[in-house]
């Protein structure tokens, strides 16, 4: 999947500092190895913060940091509007710093101005992705989202302390506040032939659920607690006696299905012992055995319309790099960026199709953008 190329390249430009390390003793669940604890500073960016600016002109200008171009525009019009946008953001270059394509379609251009601390992304979406509020649904032409973020707009919100096993998989992480007081702790365990980690320990203090959900277990869709997992006498995972989406009130249990090769290919929701076809997860793999795509559907009457369906895409190393989900006003997207072979993302960027600013002919602005940066500390 070519989309992963830009993830690998970008990271080598922005952040290259090494983590400060502290030796720990191994836990009972780990193989014979020495664990290393690392600390990351967590920075947050949310375009919704600009909604509260008292100066209407300043607020409007900040909302223009993100624009959405209609698919009905001619190619030359799009190119001109993108150029004008990048010039206004002061990140324009004749050639982007990096670009990527997927399946022969242009996907992303990236522009970086290190001196000004600004980065601009131009995303190209196709089909019914990011339907504009001003055009007919199911448009087949591309839509384009341009967004720029100033590093000075990122706010320090806390820290993440974590350890990894000898395969660079996270086996422990803690979320700390800005004073390094512990907010939440999660321990993970990895079992053979199961592509998702199990949570063996979870503790939290205070009312930080949204922050925990956004930062911990960040590149995993499902919260799977081992205490609720069911196994047969061979150790094979057969079901889950709770909700895989961390909704304890859904009333669902789940059953696992495998293909002839022993790969987990479906997780199906059951209510009162009966299958529910509206609540299922379908899993596909790459030839190398890593995850390729995960497609899920769940009933909005239980979970709400937001994220009632979605797709998750993985790179050739099995890392989640891109996900999209349904929301009543359109779509939500998230992209995850990694350094080299790391399995923990150093950044995530989330986009929403809802327009908070102005809707003009051919150009909307003010689409919501949220991002997190994880810097070595």
- In the structure, what pLDDT confidence band is assigned to residue 356 with cuts at 50, 70 and 90? low
Local structure of 3: helix, strand or coil = helix
- In the structure, what pLDDT confidence band is assigned to residue 127 with cuts at 50, 70 and 90? low
For the ranges 6-10, 86-90, 118-122, 188-192, the lowest mean pLDDT is seen at 6-10
Is there a contact between 329 and 133 (Cβ–Cβ < 8 Å)? yes
Q: What whole-number percentage of the chain has pLDDT above 70? A: 80
Q: What whole-number percentage of the chain has pLDDT above 90? A: 44
Q: What is the mean pLDDT of residues 47-75?
A: 75
pLDDT at 137: 42
Nearest alpha-carbon partner for 377 in 43, 24, 20, 12: 20
Domain that holds residue 183: 3-219+319-376
pLDDT at 210: 86
Q: How many domains does the chain have?
A: 1
Distance CA 290, CA 54 (A): 49
130 phi and psi angles, rounded to 5 deg: 50, 55
Query: Is 142 a member of any domain?
Result: yes
Nearest alpha-carbon partner for 214 in 348, 331, 312, 337: 348
Query: Is 356 a member of any domain?
Result: yes
Query: Is 106 a member of any domain?
Result: yes
pLDDT tens for each residue of 76-103:
999 999 999 999 999 999 999 877 655 5
- 152: DSSP letter: G
Query: Is 292 a member of any domain?
Result: no
Give the tokens for residue 73: 């525009």
- In the structure, what pLDDT confidence band is assigned to residue 234 with cuts at 50, 70 and 90? very high
pLDDT at 24: 35
Q: What is the mean pLDDT of residues 102-120?
A: 80
Q: What is the mean pLDDT of residues 117-138?
A: 62
Bridging pattern class, strands 291-297 and 274-285: antiparallel
pLDDT at 53: 55
Q: What b-and-e string marks burial along 241-253, b requiring 16 or more CB atoms within 10 Å of the CB?
A: ebbbbbeeebebb
For the ranges 9-18, 35-44, 149-158, 302-311, the lowest mean pLDDT is seen at 9-18
pLDDT at 31: 40
pLDDT tens for each residue of 278-324:
899 999 999 999 999 999 999 998 888 899 999 988 888 899 887 88
**Separation in Å, CA 58 to CA 51, 61, 287, 323:** 10, 5, 51, 32
Query: Is 164 a member of any domain?
Result: yes
- In the structure, what pLDDT confidence band is assigned to residue 359 with cuts at 50, 70 and 90? low
Query: Is 171 a member of any domain?
Result: yes
Q: What is the mean pLDDT of residues 2-12?
A: 39
Residue 285 β-bridge partners: 291
pLDDT at 62: 72
pLDDT tens for each residue of 239-269:
999 999 887 678 899 999 999 999 999 999 9
Q: What is the mean pLDDT of residues 133-137?
A: 42
Distance CA 324, CA 294 (A): 11
Give the tokens for residue 141: 């032409």
């Amino acid at each position: 999947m070519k989309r992963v190329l830009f993830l690998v390249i970008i990271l080598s430009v922005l952040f290259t500092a090494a983590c400060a390390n502290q030796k720990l003793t191994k836990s009972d669940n780990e193989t014979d190895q020495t664990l290393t604890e690392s600390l990351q500073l967590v920075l947050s960016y949310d375009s919704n913060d600009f909604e509260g600016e008292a100066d209407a002109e300043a607020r409007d200008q900040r909302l223009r940091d993100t624009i959405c171009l209609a698919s009905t525009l001619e190619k030359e019009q799009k190119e001109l509007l993108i150029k004008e946008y990048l010039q206004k953001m002061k990140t324009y270059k004749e050639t982007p710093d990096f670009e990527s394509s997927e399946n022969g379609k242009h996907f992303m251009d990236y522009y970086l101005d290190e001196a000004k601390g600004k980065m601009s992304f131009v995303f190209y979406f196709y089909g019914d992705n990011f339907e504009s509020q001003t055009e007919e649904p199911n448009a087949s032409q591309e839509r384009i989202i341009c967004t720029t973020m100033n590093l000075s707009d990122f706010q320090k919100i806390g820290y993440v302390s974590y350890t990894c096993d000898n395969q660079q998989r996270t086996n422990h992480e803690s979320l700390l506040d800005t004073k390094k007081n512990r907010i939440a702790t999660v321990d993970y365990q990895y079992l053979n032939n199961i592509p998702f980690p199990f949570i063996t320990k979870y503790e939290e203090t205070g009312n930080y659920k949204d922050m925990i959900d956004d930062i911990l277990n960040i590149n995993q869709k499902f919260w799977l607690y081992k205490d609720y997992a069911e196994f047969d006498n061979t150790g094979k995972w057969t079901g889950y006696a709770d909700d895989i989406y961390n909704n304890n009130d859904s009333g669902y249990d789940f059953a696992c299905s495998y293909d002839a090769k022993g790969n987990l290919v479906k997780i199906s929701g059951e209510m009162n012992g009966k299958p529910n076809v509206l609540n299922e997860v379908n899993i596909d793999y790459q030839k190398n055995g890593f995850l390729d795509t995960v497609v899920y559907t769940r009933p909005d009457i239980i979970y709400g319309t937001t994220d009632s369906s979605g797709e998750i895409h993985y790179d050739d190393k099995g890392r989640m790099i891109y996900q999209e989900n349904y929301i009543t006003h359109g779509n939500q997207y998230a992209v995850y960026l990694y350094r080299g072979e790391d399995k923990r993302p150093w950044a995530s960027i989330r986009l929403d199709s809802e327009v908070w600013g102005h809707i003009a002919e051919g150009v909307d602005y003010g689409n919501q953008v949220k991002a997190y940066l994880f810097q070595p500390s």
